[in-house]
């Protein structure tokens, strides 16, 4: 039986942090041998918010290198850049024309981001989920590993596929496959170091709120030393009054590879002064091999370029096939 197909992506906006890694990329790596995987750097999504043209290309390379450094294996996975495959933009347009406007204005992420961006809300921000649907549907993906916050966008993708098939295909021969979200509860929600009720986020203005994959040991130590805690002695999971405590224990559990029971037992009588060095050490140790690999990859630009060239070719072969089917179903004439 053919392997199920997986597609996912991360935006090249600045650096990746622990939330991106634990919530997404680590899960991609763990599951990759079971699937046929496509992992893209979604640089078209990156310009839905104000961006810096001087750093976009470099940030794109950084994310691709971090995919490799985190353990994405080219034997099972294809790594490519979204803007290198024009089919993404083209399918977005075609899907725009079958997507009711109110499906997009109802998206939670659009509502939140448009409040934050104030008067500068561009059409791309509204259309963001249709581009994401195009990313997924072009590859006929079965599974889409994402964080909890992307669940609504996955449901929208399913709705768009169903609507397209209903309007332009038959139940016996659907053109687009409905994908399933693959959401892992462990580590799916890594919270901010400065507020345990908010997600760790690239858009938080304070760098102190997150640990970046490329932070130095000194930066990691400093951030953990100063992170928000509470005055209670004895650490525990799941106490709703202690969100920071739950978040930091979870981070420790995931980064050290210990079980929940082990961590709960180990930390039940600890104070923060005892716990923080343990978390610091586990974090530094977990990131060290990724950082070493990253440096190695970034020092060989030719290698990274060849990975992205091969990735683009493999991605295009699949994407163009779907795009041709979609255009045929819509009744377009063939280009001459
Ligand atoms: N919107 C996703 C995020 O912010 C990124 C993304 C874009 C994506 N296209 C995708 C994720 C396709 C999965 C599949 O995390």
Residue bearing tokens 């739950």 = 246
> For a substitution probing ligand 1, which of 13, 132, 190, 203 has the most ligand atoms within 8 Å of its CB?
132
| CA of 129, closest atom in ligand 1 | 1
Instruction: Give which of 84, 68, 82, 77 is closest to 299, Cα–Cα.
Output: 68
**pTM (2 d.p.):** 0.93
Does ligand 1 come within 6 angstroms of the Cβ of 146?
Answer: yes
Q: What is the pLDDT of residue 187?
A: 60
How big is the CA angle at 216 (ends 212 and 222), to the nearest 5 degrees?
A: 85
Instruction: Give which of 161, 40, 151, 156 is closest to 91, Cα–Cα.
Output: 161
**pLDDT beneath 70: ranges in the chain:** 14, 186-188
Does ligand 1 come within 6 angstroms of the Cβ of 8?
Answer: yes
Radius of gyration of the chain, Cα coordinates, nearest whole angstrom = 21
Does ligand 1 come within 6 angstroms of the Cβ of 187?
Answer: no
Instruction: Give which of 199, 211, 195 is closest to 244, Cα–Cα.
Output: 195
Does ligand 1 come within 6 angstroms of the Cβ of 7?
Answer: yes
Dist. CA 165–CA 16, nearest whole Å: 36
Three-class DSSP category at 199 = strand
Q: What is the pLDDT of residue 117?
A: 78
Q: How many whole angstroms from its chain centre is CA 220? A: 22
Instruction: Check if 293 is active-site.
Output: no
Q: What is the pLDDT of residue 188?
A: 59
Question: Is the CB of residue 12 less than 8 Å from the CB of residue 56?
Answer: yes
Nearest-CA residue for ligand 1 atom 3 is 10
Does ligand 1 come within 6 angstroms of the Cβ of 141?
Answer: no
pLDDT tens-digit map of 1-37:
799 999 999 999 867 999 989 888 988 999 999 999 9
Dist. CA 98–CA 161, nearest whole Å: 10
Nearest-CA residue for ligand 1 atom 7 is 132
Q: What is the pLDDT of residue 336?
A: 87
pLDDT tens-digit map of 121-177:
899 999 999 999 999 999 999 999 988 889 999 999 999 999 999 999 999 999 999
Question: Is the CB of residue 263 less than 8 Å from the CB of residue 253?
Answer: yes
Which residues pair with residue 145 across a beta bridge? 182
H helix or E strand, kind and range, residue 145:
strand 143-145
> For a substitution probing ligand 1, which of 12, 42, 77 has the most ligand atoms within 8 Å of its CB?
42
Instruction: Check if 199 is active-site.
Output: yes
């Amino acid at each position: 039986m053919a392997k199920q197909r997986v597609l996912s992506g991360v935006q090249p906006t600045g650096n990746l942090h622990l939330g991106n890694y634990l919530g997404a990329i680590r899960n991609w790596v763990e599951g990759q041998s079971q699937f046929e995987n496509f992992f893209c750097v979604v640089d078209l999504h990156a310009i839905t918010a104000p961006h810096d043209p001087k750093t976009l290309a470099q940030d794109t390379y950084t994310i691709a290198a971090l995919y490799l450094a985190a353990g994405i294996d080219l034997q099972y996975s294809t790594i490519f850049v979204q803007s290198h495959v024009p089919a993404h933009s083209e399918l977005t347009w075609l899907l725009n024309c079958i997507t009711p406007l109110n499906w997009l204005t109802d998206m939670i992420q659009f509502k939140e981001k448009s409040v934050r961006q104030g008067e500068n809300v561009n059409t791309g921000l509204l259309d963001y989920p249709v581009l994401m649907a195009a990313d997924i549907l072009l590859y006929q993906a079965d599974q889409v590993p994402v964080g909890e916050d992307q669940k609504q966008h996955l449901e929208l993708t399913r709705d768009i596929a169903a609507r397209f098939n209903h309007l332009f295909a038959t139940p016996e021969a659907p053109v687009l496959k409905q994908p399933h979200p693959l959401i892992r509860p462990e580590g799916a929600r890594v919270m901010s170091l400065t507020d345990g009720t908010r997600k760790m986020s690239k858009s938080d203005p304070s760098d102190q709120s997150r640990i970046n994959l490329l932070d130095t040991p000194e930066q990691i130590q400093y951030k953990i030393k100063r992170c928000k805690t509470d005055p209670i002695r004895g650490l525990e999971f799941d106490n709703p009054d202690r969100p920071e405590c739950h978040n930091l224990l979870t981070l420790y559990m995931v980064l050290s590879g210990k079980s929940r029971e082990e961590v709960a037992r180990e930390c039940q009588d600890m104070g923060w002064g005892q716990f923080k060095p343990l978390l610091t050490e586990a974090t530094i140790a977990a990131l060290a091999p990724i950082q070493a690999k990253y440096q190695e990859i970034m020092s060989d630009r030719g290698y990274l370029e060849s990975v992205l060239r091969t990735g683009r070719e493999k991605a295009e072969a699949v994407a163009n096939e779907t795009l041709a089917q979609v255009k045929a179903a819509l009744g377009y004439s063939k280009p001459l």
